[in-house]
Structure 1
Amino acid sequence: MYQLTFSLEEFLAEFWQKKPTIIKGGFNDFIDPISPDELAGLAMEEEVDSRYIAKHGNEWDVKHGPLTFDNVPEDNWSFIVQAANHWHEGAARLVTPFRQLPNWLFDDLMISYSTPGGGVGAHIDQYDVFIVQGSGKRHWRVGPKKEDYEEEFSHPALRQIKRFDPIIDDILEPGDILYIPPGFPHDGYAIDTSMSFSIGFRSPKKQELLSSFADFVIANEVGDVHYHNPELPARKTPGAILSSEFADMEAMMRSLLDHPDMMKKWMGEHLSQSRHELDIIAAEPPWQQAEIYQFLENGEILKRLGGLRAFYYPEQPHLLYINGETYELPVECGTAASYLCDAEDISQDMLGKLIDHPAFVALLTQLVNYGYWYPVE
């Protein structure tokens, strides 16, 4: 079990989205949760998002997965696997210590393997990231947040920037953690063969929220009404949009937001959609409710699928938003939200009397059959 050596609560107060920092020994006695061979195996899979990045002098080479590792150079290259927590249970455990942050902000665990000199060049990200140094050492530089960094067009698949003056310039060793907020330029390269584990948190943009809400409104045929004005005045300026008409149409648009329950449903479904492929394997043959009940009664454990996004609103805990869909339980089953959305495992001990409620067992059976929860071996 991985355990942070510092208070995440104090860290959030001092550093979160304010300034970058290095936490020496953020994990004690850190051991890589995945081997290079296992990571390479993931990178060779069709469903897994991976990249290979190499530098030859001033030239960069980028390949997207599935990768092969034939004829790779001796050094100055890396390969990266996105959403490794979706595909490797041991790697996913590295995310657990960061669960004091909201799950809806968490994006994925990215893992990189680098040979000496390997890196992706100086660049700027728009998300918060905790970079945990695994085996080996890596040299990191982080610059101040500014608007006028000049882009470097060294390869169409890389969004790099030109030089920056570092405010952090240090070497990370196993268990050290580098935190970088959005907008701070950074550049890291391996001193020797090394592994890095990046726990990324990504907040939604205004644009994507508006786009997603518009899609929801259209799909649910909300607001399918025309502008209506029985008091339309005659005018000598037919090309003019009168201020009253502008105000009416603006009010039409704003009125779409004046539906709290609908907004909550849209937001819950939107935030619970994963940006990365999930390793979903539907149960075959499907479980029966009596089998799920007996399985838990026997002291067995069900585990949530790596990367599955499951949320609820504390004031409406009987409504669950899982992988882009809404699931409704009877109001008296409200405690189920915490077991399904806060916890990573489900057992009879934690459920108590809830295990005897037919509606809960029916939903749990449905979720297991979808492959969203699965038996722990």
Structure 2
Amino acid sequence: MNYKLAIDWDDFLTNYWQKKPVILRKAFAHFIDPITPDELAGLAMEEEIDSRIVSNKDGVWDARFGPFTQYDNLGEDHWSLLVQAVDHWHEQAATLLEPFKCMPQWQFDDLMISYATQGAGVGPHIDNYDVFIIQGMGSRRWQVGDRNQHYKQFNAHKALLHVEQYQPIIDEEITAGDILYIPLGCPHNGTSIGESLSYSVGFMTRTSQELLSSFADYVIDNLPNGIYYQDPDLKRPKDPYQVQPYELTKLQDQIIDLIKKPELFNDWFGKHITLPMHDLNIVPVEPPYDYNEFESLLKNGAELNRVPSIRILKVGDCGYIHGEQINLPMPVIDLLCKTETLYYEQLQDKDTLQVMLDLVNKGYWYFAEE
């Protein structure tokens, strides 16, 4: 399915991105759902897929986590099924992401899909990411507030963090093909009107604390020789118990120098940022292909498909996929980033084939006929 998105991206980025929420009416003309409620329910039965059911019966909130074995005990209203990273497991749903690939892909998180019955929602809450909520089947009423660091949050249930009352700046219904964009930090509450499906395209960056922790682990693993503080120009201090300002500055600079080394920082970031937040449908080849078998399959017309939503990015002069560096020239890495289906004619260089053989055996690409 070819989804075309009617958004003036330059205008959107200038006036709305991480600034204020907005409803983009009929951003998808003649929208057709890429997945059915039954298919979504089937995915939520799988062990590898993150899912939950949230209900609000008679004002009492409840949340349960999958995998689920049945749904016939839930009643006809006030419950919703939410499934994370559907783009990892459902190729048709993943096509919905194509129009958003003009945005920085290192910030993309996942496609979450929600099926909701009459009156259902997850309650008023604040997310720590930017999200485009695409309305599919049915409609929902959304109440969205502006940012305010003084909002008070509380647990309506141990798995549900809600926000206390806020003043909506958007209070409208959205229908099939409409998109609600909500920046990080804006409180919002969606309530289903009848049965509905919605698709949340999330963009999220890690916190500085998480990044610093991950980088520190990388440095420990990749710089086995310790870097010690040294001060060969030391003068006898007046107060030996006082840490001198210049000493603190030298310590800070010593740490900052590590961060500013491109060969360290870029390699760490490429490996870190291409690790997935959710499980992927990666199946290593057993027994692995040997080179001659692999080349023969490609020469005979077999197509290589990339695993849906596996993270592949470029950092500096290198490419990265699923936490590892790709040892190929940049023109080939560009091809791997932008092309999901590969053919022999694109890969016939022997060095390229050897690297691709390794990636295919790891399960990052697979032959279409399998």
**What interval of TM-score do these two structures reach, taking the shorter chain for normalisation?**
over 0.9
CA distance, structure 1, for counterparts of residue 61 and residue 40 of structure 2: 22
2:325 paired residue number: 326
Q: Please tell me whether residue 372 in structure 1 is matched to residue 364 in structure 2.
A: yes
Greater alpha carbon shift after TM alignment, 294-303 vs 163-172: 294-303
1:81-114 residue CA offsets vs partner (Å, 9 max, x unmatched): 0001111111111111111112111100000110
- Per the TM alignment, residue 222 of structure 1 is displaced from its structure 2 partner at its CA by 5.3
**Match of 2:236?**
234
Q: 1:335, 1:298 → 2: CA distance? A: 24
Equivalent position SS for 2:326: strand
Aligned length: 367
* 2:19 pairs with 1:18: yes
Q: Give the drift of 1:152.
A: 3.3
What is the CA distance between 1:290 and its match in structure 2?
A: 3.3
**Residue 37 of structure 2 aligns with which residue?**
36
Which residue of structure 1 aligns with residue 221 of structure 2? 219
SS of residue paired to 2:308 = coil
Confirm or deny that 1:359 pairs with 2:355: no
Q: Distance in 1 between matches of 2:95 and 2:326?
A: 27
Number of the residue aligned with 2:340: 344
Letter in 1 for 2:214: S
- The one-letter code of the counterpart of 1:149 is Y
Match of 1:86 in 2: 88
Contact 1:124 1:183 in 2 (8 A): yes
**What letter is aligned with 1:63?**
R
Structure 1 distance, partners of 2:27, 2:57, is 34
Deviates more, 1:29-38 or 1:279-288: 279-288
Whole-Å Cα distance in 2 between the matches of residues 103 and 342 of structure 1?
A: 12
Root mean square deviation of aligned Cα: 1.8
CA distance, structure 2, for counterparts of residue 14 and residue 294 of structure 1? 53
**Residue 7 of structure 2 corresponds to which residue in structure 1?**
6
Give per-residue Cα distances to partners, 1:221-263, cap 9 Å, x unaligned.
2561322234443345332112232222222212212311221
Where does the alignment leave 5 or more consecutive residues of structure 2 unmatched?
none
The residue that corresponds to 1:199 in the other structure is: 201
Identity %: 44
Whichever residue aligns with residue 363 of structure 1, its letter is V
Residue 348 of structure 1 deviates from its aligned partner by 4.1
The partner residue of 1:171 within 170, 173, 176 is 173
| Aligned-partner residue type, residue 60 of structure 1 | W
SS of residue matched to 1:153: strand
Counterpart of 2:290? 288
Give the letter for the 1:212 counterpart.
S
CA distance in 1, matches of 2:310, 2:160: 29
Q: How does 1:251-330 map to 2 (within 5 A)?
A: 251-313=253-315, 316=317, 319-329=318-328
Deviation of 1:178 (Å): 0.8
The aligned amino acid for 2:324 is E
Looking at structure 2, the residues matched to 56 and 356 of structure 1 have their Cα atoms a distance apart, in angstroms, of 60
Paired AA for residue 142 in structure 1: V
Q: Give the alignment of 1:38-117 within 5 angstroms.
A: 38-68=39-69, 69-117=71-119
Kept in 2, the 8 Å contact 1:75–1:118? The answer is: yes
Using the TM superposition, give the Cα deviation of residue 343 of structure 1 relative to its aligned residue in structure 2, in angstroms.
2.4
Q: Supply the distance in 2 between the matched residues of 1:296 and 1:113 (Cα, whole angstroms).
A: 41
Tell whether the 8 Å contact from 2:280 to 2:310 is kept in structure 1 after alignment. Answer: yes
* Aligned partner of residue 219 in structure 2, secondary structure: helix
CA distance in 1, matches of 2:122, 2:265: 40
Is this contact kept in 2: 1:22–1:179, CA < 8 A?
yes
**Are 1:20 and 1:178, in contact at CA under 8 Å, matched by a contact in 2?**
yes
Residue pair 1:282, 1:371 contacting (<8 A) in 2 also: yes
1:64 CA displacement: 1.1
For residues 356 and 301 of structure 1, the distance between their equivalents in structure 2, rounded to whole angstroms, comes to 13
TM-score by length of 2: 0.94
User: For residues 224 and 149 of structure 2, what CA distance do their matches in structure 1 show?
Assistant: 40
Q: Distance in 2 between matches of 1:344 and 1:20?
A: 32
1-structure distance, mates of 2:198, 2:39: 14
Hey, what's the Cα distance between the residues in 2 that align with 1:295 and 1:134? 40
Q: Distance in 2 between matches of 1:152 and 1:309?
A: 34
**Residues 190-215 of structure 1, C-alpha deviation per residue, up to 9 Å, x if partnerless?**
00111111010112221111111101
Distance in 2 between the 1:247 and 1:145 partners?
A: 36
Residue aligned with 2:259, SS: coil
- Aligned partners of 1:134 and 1:194 also within 8 Å: yes
Question: What's the TM-score, normalizing by structure 1?
Answer: 0.92
Unaligned runs of 5+ in 1: none
Letter in 2 for 1:290: N
SS at structure 2 position matched to 1:138:
strand
